[in-house]
Chain A
Amino acid sequence: MQKLSLRDKIKEARISAADSFRGGKLMSSIFRPGSPFRKGYVDSPRNRSYVVMNNVLYHLHPVKVKRHGVRLSYTLCLGGLSFFLFIVLTITGIWLMFYFRPTELAYVDIQNLQTSIAFGSLVRNMHRWGAHLMVLVVFLHMSRVFYHGAYKAPREFNWVIGVILLLLTLLLSFTGYLLPWDQLAIWAVTVGGNMAGYTPVIGAQAKFGLFAGLEATTATLLRFYVLHVLFLPFIIVIFMAVHFWRVRKDGGISGPL
Chain B
Amino acid sequence: MVDIPEHLLLRSAEARAKALGISVEQALAEMKGETEPTVVAKDPEVKVIDETPAPAAETPAPAAETPAPAASKTDTPEEVDFAPEVKVTQRLLTVVKAKPIQKPVAEPVDKVNTWPHLMLPEFVSLMAMTAFLILLSAILQAPLLEEANPNVTPNPAKAPWYFLGLQELLSYWDPQIAGVMIPLVLGVVLWMAFPYIDRNPETHPSKRKFAIMFYTFFLAGAGVLTIIGVLFRGPGWNWTYPWIDGIWFDDLLDWIHFE
Q: Chain A interface (Cβ within 8 Å of chain B)?
A: 45, 48-49, 51-52, 57, 61-70, 72, 77, 80-81, 84-85, 88, 107, 110-111, 114, 121-122, 124-126, 128-130, 132-133, 135, 139, 143, 146-153, 155-156, 159-160, 163-164, 167, 170, 173-174, 177, 180-188, 190-192, 195-196, 198-200, 203, 215-217, 251, 254-255, 257
Contacts and interface: CB of A to CB of B under 8 A. Distances in A.
Given A151-B194, A183-B145, A186-B149, 19 more contacts: A48-B116, A65-B111, A70-B112, A70-B121, A85-B129, A122-B134, A125-B141, A129-B142, A147-B215, A149-B208, A151-B195, A155-B195, A167-B188, A183-B148, A186-B150, A187-B153, A188-B160, A192-B159, A217-B150
Contact of B114 (A64, A122, A143): A64
Contacts of A180: 144
Nearest to B212: A147
Interface of A is mostly: helix
Interface residues of B, number: 72
B110 A61 contact: no
SS of B interface (majority): helix
Contacts of B161: 132
Nearest to B216: A147
A200 B176 contact: yes
Interface in B154-174: 154, 157-163, 166-167, 170
B211 interface: yes
Interface string B201-234: 1111100100110010001000000000000000
For the complex of A and B, list the 4 residue pairs with the smallest distance between their C-beta atoms, beginning with the closest.
A125-B137, A149-B203, A156-B195, A186-B148
A57 B2 CA distance: 41
